[in-house]
Amino acid sequence: EVQLLESGGGLVQPGGSLRLSCAASGLTINNYWMSWIRQAPGKGLEWVAHLQPDGSATWYVDSVKGRFTISRDNAKNSLHLQMNSLRVEDTALYYCTTGGVQWGQGTLVIVSS
């Protein structure tokens, strides 16, 4: 059974940093497109970042470019999202997904002073 388990969310002040992690089981993440998708409270879905299977290319939505970095640890079969210079508008539930096919339960990030 495929499982994606996110962690690392929490409450942070504007300008702060968080590192989200996604532990995968039942699949080997370096065989998949891996993505982070977020959902602000009561809102729709927004694709945040995307990592090619061979790790050679990444894509980011414009609003997080230069602030967020998606990466992968093949040895630990885990995906990460380093989030710096956080803004109030980054408040959301962050989902780890295999390109939208399998989804975790999400980890909540709240940016507030």
Residues in touch with other proteins (CB under 8 A): 44-47, 50, 59-62, 95, 99-101, 103-106
Closest CB to other proteins among 86 and 93? 93
Closest CB to other proteins among 29 and 95? 95
Minimum CB–partner distance for residue 20 and other proteins (Å): 15
Minimum CB–partner distance for residue 101 and other proteins (Å): 6
Minimum CB–partner distance for residue 47 and other proteins (Å): 4
Minimum CB–partner distance for residue 88 and other proteins (Å): 21
Q: How far is it, in rounded angstroms, from Cα 2 to Cα 105?
A: 12
- Cα 89 to Cα 19, 37, 73: the distances in Å are 17, 14, 28
Q: How far is it, in rounded angstroms, from Cα 74 to Cα 64?
A: 24
Closest CB to other proteins among 78 and 98? 98
Q: How far is it, in rounded angstroms, from Cα 12 to Cα 86?
A: 8
Give the end-to-end CA distance of the chain in Å, rounded to a whole number: 40
Closest CB to other proteins among 38 and 80? 38
CA 43 to mean position of chain CA atoms:
17
